[in-house]
Structure 1
C-alpha cells in the first residue's frame, strides 16, 4: 500500500469509461480507524458520480513525511487528508481552491499561502485545553479553576502538597509531538496575545525565539517541571498511554488538544472531567486554535476538477462531520453546522471554550500547529517537540532552548 497504480483501462461500457479512480491518502488512529474512513469515503463518493476512490493509508504517524516520500517517487496521491501543505504548495504540487469553492467555510482564508488556500479549512481545534480531574481538585482544596497563571501555580502547589501529580504529559516513541501543549499554551498567552503575527515577523527576521517574550514562555514550562508540577517520567509514555494515565487518575491536569474531549466522553473514567483554557498572567482570555486540517488535491491528479469536487463533498458532508465530531472531537468550521445534540459533557465544555473565545475576540494561533504563511518551516515543529523534552528534563534552560530553535530555524530556511 502507498504506491499509485495506473488507472484501469476504460471498459467498453460508457459508464465504466467515464469513471475516474482517484487515490486518497488517509491516516488511521484508534479514533479514526479503517471502518471510519471507509464509511466517510463512501458517503462522499455517493455525491460525486464518476469517481472511484482508492484508499491509501500512511504507515506511520508523520503523514506529511510519508506524502513527501510518495512525491519523491512520483506517486503523490490525487487527494490527501490532513497533510501540511507547506513546501508542496510553493513547489506547485497542489491545486488551490477558489473563493467560490470555499464559500461554505467559516474561515475561508485559514492557512493561506501567498494568498491561496490549498487545504480545506474544515475543522477547528482548541490547543490546548486543560482537562482536569474534579475529584483531585476537590481533594486538594481547589474550589475554582485557575483564571490567572499564578492561580495555576497555586493549584499545582496544592495538588503537590496533597500527594498528587499536578500535570500529565507524554511524548514517548513516535509521539514526541504530545509534549508540546503546555508550551503551546504559554506561547499563546505570552507571545501571540501581544504579537498575533509573531511567526510572520519571525520569517521576516523582525523577532527571534531568543527574544524576552518567547524565553519567558519557555521558562514557564521549565519552572513547572523544576517545581515538580509536571511528571518528567511521563515523557516516556506514548500518546495513548498518556491519555490512559490521566484516566487512571495519575495526574490532575492534562493539557491536550480539543480532540481529547470525545475520547473522554466515550471512555468515562471513575471521576468527572472538567475543562478550562490555559490562563494568562492577568487573567484576560486567550484561546489558541488551529483551523484547517482538511483535504488537499494534487495539481497532477488524474482529474483535478473531479478531485476538488470530491474533496469538497468529503469535508462538507453533514454525516461525515457528525462522524468526525463523535470519533475525534472535531469542531467543524462549516457555516451553519450544528454538532449532534447528544454529545457528552466534556465535548460540550470544550466547545464552550471555543465559543467564548469567538465572542470575546481572544482567538490566537496555536504554536507549532500553524499552517500557511504564519507557520513554522517544514520539520521545525518536530525539532521543537524533541527540544521540549530537554526543557522539561532540565537538559536545556529556557535561553538554551530558544537559542536552539533560532539555530534550527536558520537551518530550515537556508
Structure 2
C-alpha cells in the first residue's frame, strides 16, 4: 500500500542519517517454538547471482553460525531464479527448507508451513509489518529495493543531443527516437534461458506510473475479483511496452540474453538505457564501464514521480523446522550482522531497512545517486508497489510472476496485443487460484 510503503520509507530515510551500527544479533525478542538447547542441523535455501556469489553466502553463514552455538547449517542453492517453485517442489516431498531467504511466503504461510515473526523479533526493523499475510509477518523485511529504475549511458545521451534524463513519458519517447536516429539502441532488455524474469522491468515501470500511481491497491482489487488485467487501468501500461517494442526501441534479440549477459550488454555499450532493480547500482560501481552511468525513474505522463519499490527479501522459517527457536535465532543473527549488511549494500545495492543502520562510507557514485532518487521519492510520497514482486495479502498467486514474464516476451515479440496479454494473465490467475 502506498501509505504503508511511504511511512516505512520515511523512517528508513531518517535512519540512514543516524550514526551507529546494527548489533550482531537481535536482543529485542525471543523466538517462539521449541527450546534452544542441544544441537541441530538446519537446511538453508539460498540463491546465487553474479553479485551474490557462493563465497558471499558461505562467509555470511559462517558469521551467523558463530553467534548461535548448536546450529549446523546445510546450504541449499536454488537451481534457477524460480526459488518459490523450487521450494514448492521440496515442500511437496516433505523437504521444505528450515530457513529460506528471498522466497515469497505467499502460499506457504496460508498452508501453515511457516512460523510467523513476533513483534519482539521484528523490533529492529524499520517496517516491521511489511507484506503481512492474514495480519502476520512471515518474512523479515530487511531490505528495500526500487524495482526498477532506469540506468543510462550518459555518453550515449550526449551523442544524441539529450542534455538531461526524461521527466515525462513523451520526453522518453522523444529521447528514444533521437538515440535510434544516431544508431544507438535505446533499451537493453534481457529474458533468455532461465532468466525470463529479466524482461519484466519496462512493464513494472509502466504499471507503477499508469496503474499503481492512480490506484495503489489495484492488485488487491484484482485478488478480490473487482478488477481484471483487461481493464484499461492495466492495459494502458501494457500497451506502452508493446509500442516501445514495435518502434524498435526494445530489441527482440535481447530476449535470448541471460540476466548476466544483459548486464554485460549494457556495459559493452549495446544500448543506452537499462531498466533494472537497484542492485545494479553497486555492480556498476564495482565493475565500472567505459562511460558514466546515471539513473532516473521510469517517467509518468505528467512528469510526477512514481518509484516502484519492495521491502522484504529476508528470512522465513519453516514451522516444521527441527528447532524453530534456534532456526529463528540463527536467521536473525544472519539478518542483523553488520558485515553481512554492508556486503549486501556493496554487492547487491541493498537499501537496508533496519533501525540505526548506516551505509558504508566507501559506497560509489551510482549507488549514491540511486539512494538519493529513492529518498526523493520518499519525500514526495511517490513510493508505490512493484508489480509482480508483492508478497503480502492480495499479491499474485505463486508461480504467476513467471507466467507474466513469458507473456511479456510474447508482447515484445509482437505475438500478443495488450488486450491479449491481459486476457492471458486473467486466465493464468484463475488457473493458479484453483
Q: TM-score range by the shorter chain?
A: over 0.9
For the residues of structure 2 that align with 1:41 and 1:301, how far apart are their CA atoms? 18
Q: Which moved more, 1:62-71 or 1:255-264?
A: 62-71
CA apart distance, 1:84: 1.4
How far did residue 410 of structure 1 move? Answer: 1.3
Query: What's the offset of the Cα at 1:374?
Result: 3.2
1:306 to partner: Cα distance:
1.2
Instruction: Confirm or deny that 1:47 pairs with 2:76.
Output: no
2-side partners of 1:232 and 1:54: how far apart? 41
Aligned to 1:157: 177
Q: Identify the residue that residue 345 of structure 1 maps to in structure 2.
A: 365
Q: Residues of 1 paired with 2:82 and 2:411: CA distance?
A: 23
Cα distance, 1:60 vs structure 2: 2.6
Give SS of 2:67's match.
coil
Which of 365, 371, 377 is equivalent to 1:357?
Answer: 377
Match 2:231 to one of 182, 189, 211: 211
Deviation at 1:382, TM superposition (A): 0.5
Matching residue of 2:118: 98
Residue 14 of structure 2 corresponds to none
Deviation at 1:19, TM superposition (A): 2.1
Q: Which has the higher contact order (CA 8 A, sep 6+)?
A: 2
> For the residues of structure 1 that align with 2:371 and 2:328, how far apart are their CA atoms?
29
Superposed displacement of residue 339, structure 1: 1.2
Counterpart-to-counterpart distance in 1, 2:211 and 2:105:
25
User: What TM-score does the superposition give when structure 1 sets the normalisation length?
Assistant: 0.94
Task: Give 1:147 deviation, angstroms.
Answer: 0.6
Which of 324, 328, 343 matches 2:344? 324
Unmatched tracts of structure 1, length 5 or more: 1-16
Give the distance between the partners of 2:398 and 2:309, measured in 1 at CA: 20
- Contact 2:345–2:359 (CA<8 Å) still a contact in 1? yes
Alignment counterpart, residue 137 of structure 2, candidates 110, 117, 128: 117
8 Å Cα contact 2:109/2:133 also seen in 1: yes
* Structure 1 residue aligned with 2:307: 287
SS at 2:309 equivalent: strand
Distance 1:214 1:227 in 2: 21
Q: Which residue of structure 1 aligns with residue 56 of structure 2?
A: 36
Correspondence for 1:67 among 87, 91, 101? 87
Which has the higher mean CA deviation after the structures are superposed, 135-144 or 72-81? 72-81
Q: Distance in 2 between matches of 1:256 and 1:25?
A: 24
Q: Is 1:233 paired with 2:258?
A: no
Q: 2:168 aligns with which of 148, 171, 184?
A: 148
For residues 142-173 of structure 1, give each alpha carbon's deviation from its aligned partner in whole angstroms, at most 9, with x where no partner exists. Answer: 00110111111111111011111111100011
1:126 is matched with: 146
What residue is the counterpart of 2:415 in the other structure? 395
Cα deviation for residue 274 of structure 1 reads: 0.4
Give the Cα separation in 2 of the matches to 1:408 and 1:50: 45
Alpha-carbon RMSD across the aligned residues, in angstroms, is 1.1
TM-score calculated relative to the size of structure 2:
0.90
CA offsets 1:214-267 (integer angstroms, 9 cap, x no match): 110000001111111111111111111111110000100000011111111111
Structure 1 position 312, deviation (Å): 1.1
Tell me what 2:15 maps to.
none
Using the TM superposition, give the Cα deviation of residue 350 of structure 1 relative to its aligned residue in structure 2, in angstroms. 0.9
Mapped pair 1:194 → 2:207:
no
Q: Return the match for 1:313 from 327, 333, 336.
A: 333
Whole-angstrom distance in 1 between the partners of 2:399 and 2:132? 19
User: What's the counterpart of residue 7 of structure 1?
Assistant: none
**Long gaps (5+) in structure 2:** 1-36
